Structure 1
């Protein structure tokens, strides 16, 4: 049974701790405000109590270019066109982590490492989900058919980096247009390296706008914007230093480009234990989370996933993904540059 009582300076109850974790934002306010994540709890209904894969059907768009209107001339038959559909497949991602600390450490030094753990779990899983998301985005953007969603200015081999390999004040505008054409305004979030963000600031392209964000309590916040995008600045996942010249990756993500939901039927998602014998006492916390982070418009091939949850490496393998939507309806893109 889960251990109740005091844990790391807290009154521990598994249900209360689970609620506390859910109240801590899984993503920071910039991503919430951008609308990139589309909460879709029906996915868990499709997955079921014991499953880990869901097939999401969708209608193909009724497009006048594909099926033009007929001429009503009194002679032409108005033959009905059949409504068609396709499907995309998503998979539950499951992660876990445990921590421990010796009583002796606290008794000897006065430190309280498990209090630190209890205060850090929400942030830790935010980082885990961010890694899973960005790994997935990299993979699906590399698929055949997604070439227009990549603006590559970078010089990766030998040579001198010039202005043509760097962003300027028009790069973002034309990268949007290349990716989505007349739907370019459907992008919302810009995930970029701090160096690239500094360049945009130096070019005078960072504005500050006021937004009202509804979480538990509505509040007004000032968020920077770049060309209508909300920037999320992170030095993780946004630079590749494996080549001769560093390549900075600036991701454009649109509203609803990622479908998400949480697994809610774990028996003991947060569990404490105490070992009074080893090392004169060890306090432990076991955690696990399950969630869907599915790039809308793609399918994961669950048959290529070795076990019951995809690893980060499997999420990042483009061979495990396929394009389901028309590429113009994929609200994602990336700019690669040397600065």
Structure 2
């Protein structure tokens, strides 16, 4: 494969697909190793066996529970049944093309063009997958409704307005030593140990570095030299640093009114809100559903003296545990990033009933949380 030409005459889509999967990608590999992404055979079977299926409602079994009765030889024993919850799952389809001229291998300094393209396609797809996850997370935390808000409120730790300082003089509206631990306990109680990964903006990571709370992993290369990786841990959780994490600019506020009187507004400088997401084991069910033609080549011998275009297509499922995609506002058979980020397209998994008969999953069982800070 090392000497393969990047043109439509010799292009083998199956071999190319297998080749890209062998190219290392730290983000994707570490995300999978963290166990935040978990395979789901039911999802795979549903979308693989039905031609054209892009959305499905799958059953999700409830847990047993209830208050135990007193076993005293006099009380009649009663029994409960588990509820079957309904979970909406959608396939996210994405595609892209790249065009290169015939002399492209010359301008890469003689580097095998197939190697170069394969490595970049793999990175591109990993970034694409991470963007899909982030957009889904944005949608999840934009949910409305009583039960959904219970999840949103308890799984959100917003410290942007906390202006107190700790014993060391650190301002508390930026991440501190106890920020992550407190947020995870608030979200999941005694299930907080399930959280294994945090995805954050570089500004947040820099604050953690300055506080010496971020520990970078190392790797020994082929020459026996230990090098620092871009991967780190925070309170034992793997950290992925990505500036595509959501940010919000807050405008400055001028002082108004008189101090001590009602209606007084203190001056405030402009600042940025940064969102950090924390995920636990099985936070997302993940399956690569596949496309009919995932990779394809097209050659135009006339344009620019001859050029080749590589087309990439993928169809994947990233289904958050305990949360259902409703498809209320989706225009086509694949949701856009904006539609994934729309809170009206998401709700907690429930039994499909209304009123007093409606039951939803316990929000503490969902290993997804977020921290909003000024850095």
TM range (shorter): 0.7 to 0.9
After TM superposition, list the pairs within 5 Å mapping 1:181-192 onto structure 2.
181-192=189-200
Would you say 1:320 and 2:345 are equivalent positions? Answer: yes
Which runs of 5 or more structure 2 residues have no equivalent in the other structure?
144-148, 163-169, 220-227, 252-269, 350-360
Q: TM-score, normalised by structure 2?
A: 0.76
Shift of the alpha carbon at 1:44? 2.2
Would you say 1:168 and 2:204 are equivalent positions? Answer: no
Counterpart contact for 1:94–1:309, Cα < 8 Å: yes
Shift of the alpha carbon at 1:206? 2.9
1:227 corresponds in structure 2 to 235
Q: TM-score, normalised by structure 1?
A: 0.84
Counterpart contact for 1:208–1:224, Cα < 8 Å: yes
1:216 corresponds in structure 2 to none
Q: Which structure: greater strand fraction?
A: 1
- Of 304-313 and 45-54, deviating more is 45-54
Would you say 1:59 and 2:48 are equivalent positions? Answer: no
Which runs of 5 or more structure 1 residues have no equivalent in the other structure?
157-161, 212-220
Would you say 1:337 and 2:343 are equivalent positions? Answer: no
Q: 1:212-262, CA deviations, whole angstroms, 9 ceiling, x for partnerless residues?
A: xxxxxxxxx986321121111122215333653111212111111011000
2:50 corresponds in structure 1 to 49
Q: 1:9 to 1:15 in 2, by over 3 A?
A: closer
After TM superposition, list the pairs within 5 Å mapping 1:1-339 onto structure 2.
6-7=5-6, 12-24=11-23, 27-47=27-47, 48-50=49-51, 51-63=53-65, 67-103=66-102, 115=114, 116-143=116-143, 144-145=149-150, 146-155=152-161, 163-207=171-215, 224-241=232-249, 243=251, 244-264=270-290, 266-324=291-349, 325-339=361-375
SS of the equivalent of 1:125 reads helix
Shift of the alpha carbon at 1:283? 1.1
Q: 1:233 to 1:12 in 2, by over 3 A?
A: same
Shift of the alpha carbon at 1:111? 8.3
Q: 1:304-332, CA deviations, whole angstroms, 9 ceiling, x for partnerless residues?
A: 31100001110000111111132111111
SS of the equivalent of 2:271 reads coil
Shift of the alpha carbon at 1:77? 1.8
Q: 1:209 to 1:75 in 2, by over 3 A?
A: farther
CA distance in structure 2 between the partners assigned to 1:226 and 1:289 by the alignment: 33
